[in-house]
Structure 1
Amino acid sequence: MDEADEGPWAVAGASAGRLGDTVRDRVARELRDRILTGRYERGERLDLDAVGAELGTSRTPVREACLALQTEGLLRMAPRSGVTVLGVEPQEVLDNFLLMARLSGFAAELAAQRITGAELAEVAGISDAMREASQAGKSIAEPNWRFHREIHRACRSRRLISLIAQTGRSIPRTFLEVFPEHVPCALDEHDELVEALRRRDGDEARRVTERHYAVPAELVSGVR
């Protein structure tokens, strides 16, 4: 599974075994997620040794991860002041979700015309599994990731998938855990999207997908 295969919320269970994945990559994903959800506040100083101990690794991969996040504008590293969280502004969070909405909406529109019967059955099965997991009180983060990933793959556009993967890095992977109250709405929208794909209705698939990101955008940007 390469980076271009990632859905909007790349979860540890689904991406930890990715070819070429390193400790630094895993640490970077965790730190990025904490920054995007506001767990690390702007201006907060990070102790590399403390972070390493918490994540069960040494200082070196934590430092390398911080260097990577510095290039993304999320952290600042300086010889005397150490590592400082820069974070993201609420408008940036909102813009990231809106961009993902447009890209994923276009992918869903294309998928409605290009998805195969086997792929549609896979997407529908994941949607059903998500509802069962939610009713059982289990995490739906990973099946949610797979649900969107399969739709993105079905659009058959490598360029579009690459853009989605790049934008998806700025979307908190733990969103559904931070805002569990959004889960029922998300599951209903998944059902609507599956039905639109089944009808080969590209316009409806795009509309449902774009709406799917509207509430998350407001929720996440509102807590910052």
Structure 2
Amino acid sequence: MQYQIIPVTPFQQNCTIFWCDETLRAAVVDPGGDIDKLIAFITEKKLNLAKVLLTHAHIDHAGATQAMVDHFGVPIEGPHIEDQFWIDLIPEQKQRFGFSHAEAFKTDRWLEQGDKVHFGNIELEVYFCPGHTPGHVVFFHRPSKLAQVGDVLFRGSVGRTDFPRGDSATLIKSIKENLFPLGDDVRFIPGHGPMGTFGEERIHNPYVGEGVR
């Protein structure tokens, strides 16, 4: 599997395109905006987009979802059903944050703990990690030990929980019980900022590291 991180929107959200080397079938994770950038990359690499995957439904992660579907005619998978209310709020988020293009959408498949998503010969495992939003999920590619964690975990930080239906204790539980057990050598792509490893965060993160009580 190969991947490319493409920062989008004024929030510099890490949209990621994953693709299968053998089939060139691809998935775009969290297309928040700047759809022209995403289309250009997919076209340049001669990829065949199979689906849109969503970690959660904040506008910087999901704002261009419907535009991608309209352009490529692909299904949407994710997030968890508990984020439906955030999807419904996209028009309000659009006005609040000044996004020029963003629409509500209807997902084709809600995701839950233990689900799998596929494109080409690639399988991603789904982990339900609420806290930042109530319906946040994480995607994990076990063969390459790579996780797309959205806004659950960052290098040296964790996701905000001061949004509606966010919860700090739930977020910490999600990280400690669902992410860290995957292994210290797992690399993760956060929703914003640079990549890291679970091992580094497990030891040194000031919110969930070993020294935090």
Higher helix share goes to which structure? 1
Q: Point out the structure with max Rg over C-alpha.
A: 1
Which TM-score tier does this pair reach, normalised by the shorter chain?
A: under 0.3
Give the TM-score normalised by the residue count of structure 2. 0.27
Q: Greater share of strand residues, 1 or 2? A: 2
Q: Which has the higher contact order (CA 8 A, sep 6+)?
A: 1
